[in-house]
Amino acid sequence: MSTIELKKVNKYFDNNHILKDLDLLIEEGDFMTLLGPSGCGKTTTLRVITGLENPEQGIITIGGKEIVNGQVSHFTPPSKRGLNLVFQSYALWPHMTVFDNVAFGLNLQKTSKAETKERVENALEKMRIFNLKDRYPSELSGGQQQRVAIARAIVTEPKILLLDEPLSNLDAKLRLEMRAELKRLHKELGTTIIYVTHDQVEALTLSTKIAVFFEGNLVQVDTPRNIYRHPADIRVADFIGNPKINFVDAKCRYNAGSIQTESELGKLDVPCAQPPSDQVVLAIYPEDIEVSNEPIEDGIVCSVYSILPAGSETLVQLSVQGDLMILAKVIGEMEYTMGKMVWVKFPVSKVNVYDKGTGKLVSREP
């Protein structure tokens, strides 16, 4: 059993409260990504799971077995936790070749020579570094070392794998290839993976679940789809959007399953439950906004502030009345003219509503 559970885990560095009452369940076979801005506590969470740091309070279990109990200072040594960790800094053995670095875990397990050779070569091929097998770490680039570290971690087919920004040193093309390899690996081996990144695209593409942190607080744990489409907190919505989600302040009045909002976008009827106050923020996804050079029914008039073509898509920055700027993402190369008037429209059913005071998502009524 490789289910990992953290219950009310608190970690302090000096007087700084770094992890705050952290409750997190990572089920067997999960690809759980810890996501959040720099300094929010992702690596610290990984380190308390592995035993490189001890929390002052809280309980951690692996497969139901208590490995940490902060209250009674019970901490199972890292080597006895059955975990396999790959750090951002790769910690390869400098006096061993790539092959020997990767073979190390299999040698410890007394795997036969022939099987070791086959499994190491297989892992090296997966990581596209077979041709480097006789080199020493000092003869490798950062990205190559990173891939050796991943190969070393996966070759023993661990039940639990912890990865801290393992792709951070790779160029864009290689990162994409390695993401695909990690995803296949997770499926093939059924390994439980805990993955740390601040790259939201990586989190969305790889994970079965994402845990989003802000300042030591776990704000939302959910599937990538729900994290993207229904961020529970406006900070998550702000962090996850790429390009950034549009936020529009609005005053509202609730009536039977929807709110009538008044904002710089004019008057809109947005389906949602009753918000706690009459001040809300509307979150509109750039890809939901349709931009037309011709007038469209119920279209909102804007002027084109800037156009950012990016090959397969075009980002259009639009100036609405007042100071409001919104961003639309249009698929394909579209012809717009800076300074010209356009009409925009979006489905109100796809707009998320946040309470302005608490920043919490106001859910739809069932």
Ligand X SMILES: Nc1ncnc2c1ncn2[C@@H]1O[C@H](COP(=O)(O)OP(=O)(O)OP(=O)(O)O)[C@@H](O)[C@H]1O
Residues contributing to the site for ligand X (CB under 6 A): 13, 18, 36, 38-44, 198
Q: For residues 38 and 138, which CB has a smaller minimum distance to ligand X in the complex?
A: 38
Q: For residues 233 and 248, which CB has a smaller minimum distance to ligand X in the complex?
A: 233
Token duo for residue 347: 């489905």
The SS3 of residue 2 is coil
Residue type, 91: A
Provide, rounded to whole angstroms, the least separation between the CB of residue 151 and ligand X: 23
The DSSP-derived string for 188-226 is HH--EEEEEES-HHHHHHH-SEEEEEETTEEEEEE-HHH
Provide, rounded to whole angstroms, the least separation between the CB of residue 167 and ligand X: 14
Q: For residues 18 and 161, which CB has a smaller minimum distance to ligand X in the complex?
A: 18
Provide, rounded to whole angstroms, the least separation between the CB of residue 18 and ligand X: 4
Say how many C-beta atoms besides its own lie within 10 A of residue 212's C-beta: 27
Provide, rounded to whole angstroms, the least separation between the CB of residue 34 and ligand X: 8
Q: For residues 146 and 246, which CB has a smaller minimum distance to ligand X in the complex?
A: 146
Q: For residues 42 and 329, which CB has a smaller minimum distance to ligand X in the complex?
A: 42
Which residue carries 């489905």 as its tokens? 347
Distance (Å) of CA 324 to CA 176, 246, 270, 297, 302: 36, 10, 19, 21, 10
Distance CA 256, CA 152 (A): 58
Q: For residues 89 and 279, which CB has a smaller minimum distance to ligand X in the complex?
A: 89
Q: Give 364's DSSP letter.
A: P
Q: Are 248 and 324 in contact (CB under 8 A)?
A: yes
Q: For residues 221 and 272, which CB has a smaller minimum distance to ligand X in the complex?
A: 221
HEC sequence for 135-189: CCHHHCCHHHHHHHHHHHHHCCCCCEEEEECCCCCCCHHHHHHHHHHHHHHHHHH
Strands (E), 27-92: 31-35, 57-62, 65-69, 74-75, 84-86
Provide, rounded to whole angstroms, the least separation between the CB of residue 46 and ligand X: 8
Distance CA 235, CA 3 (A): 29
The SS3 of residue 23 is strand
Provide, rounded to whole angstroms, the least separation between the CB of residue 43 and ligand X: 3
The SS3 of residue 98 is helix
Provide, rounded to whole angstroms, the least separation between the CB of residue 44 and ligand X: 3
Say how many C-beta atoms besides its own lie within 10 A of residue 97's C-beta: 17
Q: For residues 42 and 209, which CB has a smaller minimum distance to ligand X in the complex?
A: 42
Q: Are 324 and 266 in contact (CB under 8 A)?
A: no
Q: For residues 18 and 160, which CB has a smaller minimum distance to ligand X in the complex?
A: 18
Q: For residues 33 and 352, which CB has a smaller minimum distance to ligand X in the complex?
A: 33
Provide, rounded to whole angstroms, the least separation between the CB of residue 195 and ligand X: 12
Distance CA 47, CA 62 (A): 14
Provide, rounded to whole angstroms, the least separation between the CB of residue 17 and ligand X: 10
The SS3 of residue 105 is helix
Provide, rounded to whole angstroms, the least separation between the CB of residue 93 and ligand X: 24
Distance (Å) of CA 199 to CA 33, 88, 142, 166, 284: 10, 14, 19, 11, 21
